[in-house]
Amino acid sequence: MNNKIRAENEHILEGLRRGDLRVIEKVFSTCKPAVIQMVVRQGGNEADAEDVFMDAFEAIYNRLQSNGLTLDRASFKTYFIQVCLFQWSKKIRKKNRVHQVTNPAGEVQTGMEEVHEALADLDRKKIVAEKFQLLSEGCRQLLDWFISEDKNISEVALLLGISEGSTRKRKYECKEKLFRLVKEDPMYQELKFPG
């Protein structure tokens, strides 16, 4: 990788780390059309491409913020498209499509390990949000009080009119129900990095 690409990569990563809007907009203008083209060529539509693009962007940003990211094998754009391709391959499996997902550049998805966990976090969050809606109204209300409204055990116990011990037990049972539903989702297994 030449010095120009390296300098460009550093500029983009540093800009993203700082949340520089100009850099974020530049990534949009340089990468989004290529991602749309790649996803559409692989049997998806523009909405699919947009989801993949946003997930990849958020995952790269999260990874940068938590553990940093080094790009020493490819330009940022190539890396970004590879992350999108990786995310799209998961999405297409979820949709049970028969299309064979191929890497148009013929490149091995190298460097995905770094961003994989960030992508998995986003996917996990989506599955949890989806399964949360399948819980009973009582469970949803109880978890909302604990998590969204940040209430403690005694406050929730008071609202429910039961003991703190029973409240603790009920919260645990609701979570168990939710996580069982999550684990039953085939996509959840996809969140483990292949190989």
Partner 1 sequence: MIEEEWDEAVDRFLRGQMDPEESARFADRLKNDPSLQEYLRLNQALHQALRNSPSPFRQTLERINVSSDLRVASKRGWILVVVTAIALSIFAFLGIYLNRKKNSGPEALYLAYMKAPASLSPDLAPDRTGEAQSRSISFQDSVLMETDRLYINGQIDQALQLLQSTPEDLLSDRMLFQTGLLLLIKNQAGETLRVFEKINAYSPGEILWYGALAHLKQGEPSAARSKLELIPAESRWYSQSRELLSRL
Q: For partner 1, which is the closer residue by CB, 55 or 101?
A: 55
State the DSSP H helix or E strand holding residue 61, giving kind and residue range, or none if neither.
helix 46-66
Rounded CA gap, 47 and 39, in Å? Answer: 10
Q: Does 19 bind partner 1 (CB under 8 A)?
A: yes
For partner 1, the binding residue among 34, 43, 109, 121 (CB under 8 A) is: 121
At 112, list the tokens.
Answer: 């995905």
Q: Does 29 bind partner 1 (CB under 8 A)?
A: yes
Rounded CA gap, 81 and 30, in Å? Answer: 11
**Given the rule CB under 8 A, which of 2-10, 67-75, 81-89, 125-133 is the region that contacts partner 1?**
125-133
Phi, psi of 44 (to 5 degrees): -95, 180
Rounded CA gap, 58 and 189, in Å? Answer: 21
Q: Does 143 bind partner 1 (CB under 8 A)?
A: yes
Output DSSP code: residue 146. I
Give the binding site for partner 1 (CB under 8 A): 19, 21, 24-25, 28-29, 32, 50, 54, 57-58, 61-62, 121, 124-129, 132, 143-144, 146-148, 150, 168-169, 171-172, 175-176, 178-179, 182
